Structure 1
Amino acid sequence: MVSQETQDKLKEIRSSFRLLMNGPVSQSMRDKGIDYKINWGVPLMELKRMSTEYGKDYDLAIELWKDHVRECKLLATMIMPVDKMLPEITDIWMESVDNQELVEQLVFNLLQYVNYAPVIAYQWMAENRPYYQIAAYHILSRLFMNGQQPNERGINEFLDQVGVALQSNQLNVKHAAANCVQRFAQLGEVYKRMAKSALKDLIEIF
């Protein structure tokens, strides 16, 4: 049962999207293949401002995600409290991710921070679903950037999966994997050498 307070907030938010509508931005996204059932073209910075206004709100985030509206889903990733983003919710949300922008914002705003981030990243790398693979490499990129170092088993699995991804015909997967291995190499000279050795025929490691 959705509380009256949450219903009022949803109504207010939906009305604000109409006022902030940007047709050319929405059309540009569609032209680039970023497709939503409804897309008001509201800039990310405006959504960030709104997320600050509403604060972290689990119930509101859950209801926003249910809407097949770009701005609702993106705002949901911004206001969902990290500590309440349980694995089962992540599974449900990922099932409906169907474009690059949404997967990037979901990782940037939420998934890089959950305590099970490494677990899902290594699981999703091996998935035969492009958006799961992209999410996995984005998560690991953020973890590597924060200095988190994988163990030996993790390193071997990571480099094996990257090797497969770099030969994929999915350009967005290939791009995410390439960026991720660059972050891996930046962990230190030893990691750089391992990446060069494992992937020498597939990518140039700086």
Structure 2
Amino acid sequence: MEQQQVQDTIKLIKRGFSLQMNGVASASMREKGIGGYLNWGIQLPALRNIAQQYGKDYDLAAALWKENVRECKILATLIMPAERMSSDLVDLWMEQTTTQEMAEYATFNLFQYTDSASLHAFAWIASDKTLEQICGFNLLSCLFRKGAEPDDRDINEFLDQAIAALADNSMAVRHAANNSLVAFADMGELQEKIVEAAMRKCM
């Protein structure tokens, strides 16, 4: 998509936001701390419908991500082709993510489909940054549910980090870590026993 066409498309998308604005949802999100961006309160199903109109488009997604608008950034995670997300670009988007909501959308809509998903997941669960930890454990949950089997070294690293995270000050980190343990245990009887044994050790 040409640069001018990208900018014209973004203007068109933003005009559409004003017609779909949900003032109650927007206010509720602000009260819950889902802020940092201009927020129209538009829900994910409506944004998915918008994304389907444009399909996968790298240039449009990259431009949308640069907008300081919640809905633009969510659309970016839906429109960006995962195969165009280099490891460095994933790192950049993660660095530019400032809310839990956006971290979760980026993970579930985009990061889990990138070639570097596993590498980023293990790097992030070892991070001291809350949003990176949330992304890392959520990313592992996605990968486990898709049947990705870590090797013994990665299993040990995962269990150590996840169990430690269960005592984290952040409820969101604890929740993400617990979900990843459940997703791993759900992979099979062996994985369930591994989690049970690891949990017993820390009691």
| TM-score bucket of the superposed structures, by smaller chain | over 0.9
Aligned-partner Cα distance in 1 for 2:161–2:173: 11
Counterpart mapping for 1:147-186 below 5 A: 147-186=147-186
Does residue 1:60 correspond to 2:60, yes or no? Answer: yes
Residues 41-68 of structure 1 deviation map (CA, whole Å, 9 limit, x = unaligned): 1111110000000111111111111111
Q: CA deviation at 1:36?
A: 2.8
Q: CA deviation at 1:202?
A: 6.0
| Number of the residue aligned with 1:33 | 33
**TM-score, normalised by the number of residues in structure 1:** 0.94
| Number of the residue aligned with 2:108 | 108
| Number of the residue aligned with 1:73 | 73
Counterpart mapping for 1:8-157 below 5 A: 8-157=8-157
Aligned-partner Cα distance in 2 for 1:174–1:135: 12
Residues 140-197 of structure 1 deviation map (CA, whole Å, 9 limit, x = unaligned): 1011111111100010000000121011111100000001100111111111111111
Change (3 A) 1:22 1:201: farther
SS in 1 for 2:113: coil
**Which letter maps to 1:91?**
D
Percent sequence identity over aligned pairs:
45
Q: CA deviation at 1:129?
A: 0.3
Q: Any stretches of 5+ residues in structure 1 without a counterpart?
A: none
Aligned-partner Cα distance in 2 for 1:131–1:180: 15
CA contact (8 A) 1:166 1:202 kept: no
CA contact (8 A) 1:166 1:174 kept: yes
Q: Number of residue pairs matched?
A: 202
Residues 16-42 of structure 1 deviation map (CA, whole Å, 9 limit, x = unaligned): 111111110000111111113310011
Aligned-partner Cα distance in 2 for 1:49–1:68: 21
CA contact (8 A) 1:47 1:71 kept: yes
**Which letter maps to 1:35?**
G
Q: Any stretches of 5+ residues in structure 2 without a counterpart?
A: none
Aligned-partner Cα distance in 1 for 2:99–2:176: 14
Q: CA deviation at 1:200?
A: 2.5
Runs of 4+ in structure 1 over 2 Å off: 200-203
